[in-house]
Structure 1
Amino acid sequence: MSAQRTAVVVGGGLAGVTAALELADAGLRVTLLEGRPRLGGLAFSFKRGELTVDNGQHVYLRCCTAYRGFLDRIDGAALAPLQDRLDVPVLDAAHPKGPRLGRLRRTALPVPLHLASSLARYPHLSLAERASVGRAALALRRLDPADPALDGLDFATWLGRYGQSGRAVEALWDLVGIATLNATAEQSSLGLAAKVFKTGLLSEPGAADIGWARVPLGDLHDTLARKALEAAGVRIALRTRVTSVTRTGEASRTGGTGWRVETEHDSLAADTVVLAVPQREAHGLLPHGALADPDKLLDIATAPILNVHVVYDRKVLRRPFFAALGTPVQWVFDRTDASGLTDGGQYLALSQSAAQDDIDEPVSVLRAKYLPELERLLPAARGAKIRDFFVTRERTATFAPTPGVGRLRPGPRTDAPGLYLAGAWTATGWPATMEGAVRSGSAAAQAALAALGRHRTSLPPSSTGGTPSRSSA
């Protein structure tokens, strides 16, 4: 009887957990190494007094088939339900008569008619702007997001060619794009923007229905993920930092080239290694010759996300979330129930993407900036007492989706047999999202299994549909 194949997965975020599950499901003996004391990567929870706080508000869409498959695999789908139909309240704080509410909603009509009624009544755009948006959307449907030529163009220039006003960009294209791409249209690759809008809004009527966790993210990405990994036979080592990954130079006992993964306290041998860590960390661990030009990884820039957390002494918001215009506030979510707050107060989380201007500001400056804006948007907040105000900062939350980034993103395979890459920054075709992270882990596992002559498809393969799911709506 041949020896059981072994694999080491470095990194316990969504990409690493996905890869570990698929490899274990295919019969490999898998060890998962994570430097933090928990799983979940950049989608995690922590305690603040009696509150359980998510580091950022993460959502996904109905067409995020890989992440939905991941939730099914860890028995977490019921804890992160989807809307019955897309419905996004949008408040314009700059309206002269006070905040004006509009809604982006879909019907059951075929694409693109499913959004036509909502767009026709969208009060934040003029009649001419609404018509112009419709024409641009039809042109967007004709683009191929995988076309390399689109990667080098910025989305704003393309929108300008199709007559999109500054107001249309603010009230629609950037409203969605900043939250999903973590960049403005000017800073976004046309290819990635086309992927977001074409798949999310222009593929199927229900593609953009929004889902989010009704429990702390740690309950899903740590607790349930760990339970699924352990049930699959994966050995999990937390607080374990990998210091090097090297080829042994000898044939492994299973017939392939062996690998040695060194940690601060241990040394592991493996037939297969998956590096599911951020691009700079991957660059530092890659052995010589693994990529033709490994320094390209260092050229993949990062972008920050800021989350502002406010606990009021009373209920000030009567909807689960809303998006905002005419204000620095982007998206606001009610996190009261998920956090465990039960004393009649309300906990709101503001998700601020592309937060380069705010990410390093002191808490006092952010408090002075955002609390008055919330009072503009929510009249009920004007007389409410602030019980707590704090911020969470992810300075390298995502890779920056700038024009040209596509040529920098490597696929799952390296030039070193048995070594694979995973992470939302790899060449998934998606922006940096939970969906992209899961797809990258699946792609790495599938590549490894193909090399071993095995196949496993417990999660949707990376070629299937889906769209961004990230720390904003």
Structure 2
Amino acid sequence: MTGRQPHPHRAVVVGGGLAGVTTALRLADAGIDVTLLEGRPRLGGLAFSFCRGDLSVDNGQHVYLRCCTGYRWFLDRIEGAHLAPLQDRLDVPVLDVARPAGPRLGRLRRTGLPVPLHLAGGLAGYPHLSLAEKAGVARAALALGRLDPADPALDGIDFATWLRRHGQSRRTIEALWDLVGVATLNATAPNASMALAAMVFKTGLLSEPGAADIGWAAVPLGDLHDTRARKALESAGVRTCLRTRVSSVTRAGEGRWAVDTGSELIDADTVVLAVPQGETHRLLPDGALDDPDRLLDIKDAPILNVHVVYDRKVLRKPFFAALGSPVQWVFDRTGPSGLQGAGQYLAVSQSAAQDEIDLPVAELRGRYLPELERLLPAARGAGIRDFFVTRERTATFAPVPGVGRLRPDTHTRAPGIHLAGAWTATGWPATMEGAVRSGLSAADAALRALGRAPVHPLQEAA
């Protein structure tokens, strides 16, 4: 690769999720000799695809926002941005089926006006809140805009407590704050750190007019996070080893590390552990963190996805959110899945799914098919071609109050050992954006430690 040194530094990245792939690309772009090790037979971590017959199925519905500059960099780097387009302007259909007068559709939209006026028109026309509740939302939004998400005091309280202190009714929390917060934080307001909630809402809604515009993959996630990522790694000169589990990371002399895969001992100047917190705890060399057991206190939160293939079209929108129903968000996955013949494939995305993650498929079928018929009249009487469930029990770290003090920085006390992963101290919740940002930070820290200037600066994402 052009620009490489005659004897480049060597790096090993353990983990082939978004954090690991980002780290490997960033290091390789700087001329580092990189080996990427992944235990699974694919890249992509917890944002991946698999085949079910002729269907290409994403394990869960993943979206990103225009303010996700790190993930947008990643898409550009793997030449996949055109395959995950953004909305021109934020527009979220919200269907309330709990009204005595019958179901009502509303929309959360923005205009092109400056912040915060860009949301004023959409809020004024949002039918699921009263005039008094809308006025209360405006006051709370102004107060939220004055917060510093990095303030440690905010991490010690929950989002619901802050909302109640600022006059938010139970209905307002359900119809607005949790509608967005559950999907982005993977927790309801009482179980979410105020610091993380402030970061999500301040960045997504109050930073610039288009910050909350939504994007999602128009192809299977594996086409992006595995196929295109693997091609980008290969072009960058990264040696990628799948089905390769690391058993240990040990010192191999002054400033050197040995990564043992059982079949190979790889010598490296720097090692980036881009794996979940439990595996990181297992691999960390002694003395790398003051209190490594704190990693084990970072708990996980599940996400459940219910997949239904109908024999006819039952939804005319690309997605919608629901109120007054167990259903949270519904997405049309027909095109990306490659569904053959007549019909439509819907994915129901259920965050903060602790109460449902272990329920039998038959029970979930009995719960969600009637709910979809209640939400979508066209589904009544439609045939079911397929029904299945995907469960991610460790989808994200649990964003509970106090988690901020547990999340480690990318640096460790062991020279040459760095950490990456959405669970590290990115300031973001566990999202694709958080994972990519952690990889950027880990790579840049490793480059600085090696005396190399980081390449392709991304000031807004670093």
Cross-structure match for 2:61: 57
Cross-structure match for 2:145: 141
Please report the TM-score for the alignment, with normalisation by the length of structure 2. Answer: 0.98
Once the two structures are TM-superposed, the CA of residue 121 in structure 1 deviates from its matched residue by 1.3
Q: Cα deviation per residue 1:173-208 (whole Å; 9 max; x = unaligned)?
A: 000000000000100000000000000001100000
Structure-2 separation of matches of 1:109 and 1:463: 25
Structure-2 separation of matches of 1:366 and 1:338: 24
Cross-structure match for 1:160: 164
Cross-structure match for 1:358: 356
Structure-1 separation of matches of 2:457 and 2:84: 17
Q: What's the secondary structure of 1:436's corresponding residue?
A: helix
Aligned letter for 1:49?
G
Q: 1:367 aligns with which of 365, 368, 378?
A: 365
Once the two structures are TM-superposed, the CA of residue 383 in structure 1 deviates from its matched residue by 1.4
Once the two structures are TM-superposed, the CA of residue 62 in structure 1 deviates from its matched residue by 0.5
Structure-2 separation of matches of 1:112 and 1:31: 46
1:44 pairs with 2:48: yes
Question: Does the CA-based 8 Å contact 2:69-2:461 persist in structure 1?
Answer: no
Q: 1:274 aligns with which of 272, 278, 291?
A: 272
Cross-structure match for 1:290: 288
1:392 pairs with 2:396: no
Structure-1 separation of matches of 2:209 and 2:387: 39
Cross-structure match for 2:404: 406
Structure-1 separation of matches of 2:267 and 2:235: 22
Q: 1:378 aligns with which of 371, 376, 379?
A: 376
Once the two structures are TM-superposed, the CA of residue 342 in structure 1 deviates from its matched residue by 3.1
Aligned letter for 1:123?
P
Q: What's the secondary structure of 1:383's corresponding residue?
A: coil
Cross-structure match for 1:27: 31
Question: Does the CA-based 8 Å contact 1:5-1:29 persist in structure 2?
Answer: yes
Cross-structure match for 1:254: none
Change (3 A) 1:129 1:393: same
1:195 pairs with 2:193: no
Cross-structure match for 1:301: 299
Q: What's the secondary structure of 1:388's corresponding residue?
A: strand
Aligned letter for 1:234?
V
Change (3 A) 1:462 1:241: farther
Once the two structures are TM-superposed, the CA of residue 267 in structure 1 deviates from its matched residue by 1.1
Structure-2 separation of matches of 1:6 and 1:463: 25
Aligned length: 458
Cross-structure match for 2:175: 171
Cross-structure match for 1:470: none
Structure-2 separation of matches of 1:45 and 1:95: 37
Aligned letter for 1:77?
A
Q: What's the secondary structure of 2:380's corresponding residue?
A: helix
Aligned letter for 1:416?
A
| Identical-residue share of aligned pairs (%) | 77
Once the two structures are TM-superposed, the CA of residue 95 in structure 1 deviates from its matched residue by 1.7
Once the two structures are TM-superposed, the CA of residue 162 in structure 1 deviates from its matched residue by 0.6
Q: 2:251 aligns with which of 226, 247, 251?
A: 247
Structure-2 separation of matches of 1:425 and 1:299: 12
Aligned letter for 1:312?
Y
Q: 2:438 aligns with which of 436, 440, 456?
A: 440
Aligned letter for 2:338?
G
1:16 pairs with 2:20: yes
Q: What's the secondary structure of 1:46's corresponding residue?
A: strand
RMSD between superposed Cα atoms in Å: 1.0
Once the two structures are TM-superposed, the CA of residue 462 in structure 1 deviates from its matched residue by 6.7
Structure-2 separation of matches of 1:320 and 1:73: 27
Question: Does the CA-based 8 Å contact 1:25-1:456 persist in structure 2?
Answer: no
Question: Does the CA-based 8 Å contact 2:303-2:392 persist in structure 1?
Answer: yes
Aligned letter for 1:164?
Q
Gaps of 5+ in 1: 252-256, 465-473
Cross-structure match for 2:449: 451
Question: Does the CA-based 8 Å contact 1:89-1:103 persist in structure 2?
Answer: yes
Once the two structures are TM-superposed, the CA of residue 461 in structure 1 deviates from its matched residue by 4.6
Structure-2 separation of matches of 1:309 and 1:463: 34
Q: Cα deviation per residue 1:365-416 (whole Å; 9 max; x = unaligned)?
A: 0000000000000000001001100000000100000000000000001000
Structure-1 separation of matches of 2:456 and 2:102: 50
Q: Which moved more, 1:205-214 or 1:119-128?
A: 119-128
Aligned letter for 1:168?
T
Once the two structures are TM-superposed, the CA of residue 344 in structure 1 deviates from its matched residue by 1.7
Q: 1:100 aligns with which of 101, 104, 128?
A: 104
Q: Cα deviation per residue 1:260-299 (whole Å; 9 max; x = unaligned)?
A: 0001321111001000000000000001100000001000
Once the two structures are TM-superposed, the CA of residue 458 in structure 1 deviates from its matched residue by 2.9
Aligned letter for 1:225?
A
Gaps of 5+ in 2: none
